[in-house]
Amino acid sequence: MTDALVIIFVKNIKLGTVKTRLAKTIGDYGAFEVYTELVKITERATTNLFMDKRIYFSDAVVDSKWPNDFKTVQKGADLGERMYNAFKSGFKSGYKKIVLIGSDLPNINSKHIENGITALEENDVVFGPAEDGGYYLVGMSKLYQSIFQNKPWSQPNLLNLTLQELHKDNVKVTTLDTLNDIDTYDDLVASDFYKNNQKLQEKIQQLND
C-alpha cells in the first residue's frame, strides 16, 4: 500500500447514458464513440502511476478495464455524495493523500495526477480547474465534507463557489493547470483530441450522414 491513492470515476460505457449533452448534437452512437476514446486515454494516463488506484464505475464493474486495480461501484444519491463516500473509504483505509479524477479529459496525463498528489504535501486541498468552471481533479490530505455538500454540479460557478467557501474556512488550497473536458459539440471540435483523430471523425461523420 502506498500513502497516496488515486480514485478514478468512470461512467459505464452504455449507449444513451454517456455524454448526454454531446449526444444532443452528434447522437447517442457518436457520444458513445467519443466517451469510449476518452476512457482509453484515462486508462493510459493512470496505468503506470506509482500510487494505488481505485476505479469507481457508475453502474457495474467492468473487469477488462484497469485489470490489475481495485474496482467497485459508486455509492450515493448525487455526484457529491458519491465522491465523498469514495474519499471517506480511502481515508478510512489509511491513505494520507487522495486525488479523484473523472474520465472525460482528452489531455489528461500522469503528470497532472502526480502534481495533484505532490501539491498535497503542502496544501490541504487541491483542484484541477476545468475550462467550463468546474474541476477535473480534486484532492485532499484530510476529509472536507463541505466540498461535496450543496454544490451547483455542472454549473460554471462550481469551482469558484467551492474555493470561496474553503478560503473562508482558512483551508490551505491550491490549483493545478486548467484543462478542458468534453461536454458539448463545441468542446469536441475545438479539441486536438478530435482534430488529430481521423478515425473518430470518420465514425461520427458516418453516423450523422
pLDDT in tens, 17-34: 888 888 888 888 888 889
Q: What stretches of the chain show up as alpha helix (H) in DSSP?
A: 20-47, 79-92, 110-119, 158-168, 185-190, 192-195, 198-208
pLDDT of 85 > 80? The answer is yes
pLDDT of amino acid 183:
83
Report pTM.
Answer: 0.93
pLDDT of amino acid 14:
84
pLDDT of 84 > 80? The answer is yes
List pLDDT tens digits, range 114-151: 999 999 999 999 999 998 899 999 999 999 999 999 88
* Domains, the chain: 4-197 (3.90.550.10)
Q: DSSP code of 20? A: H
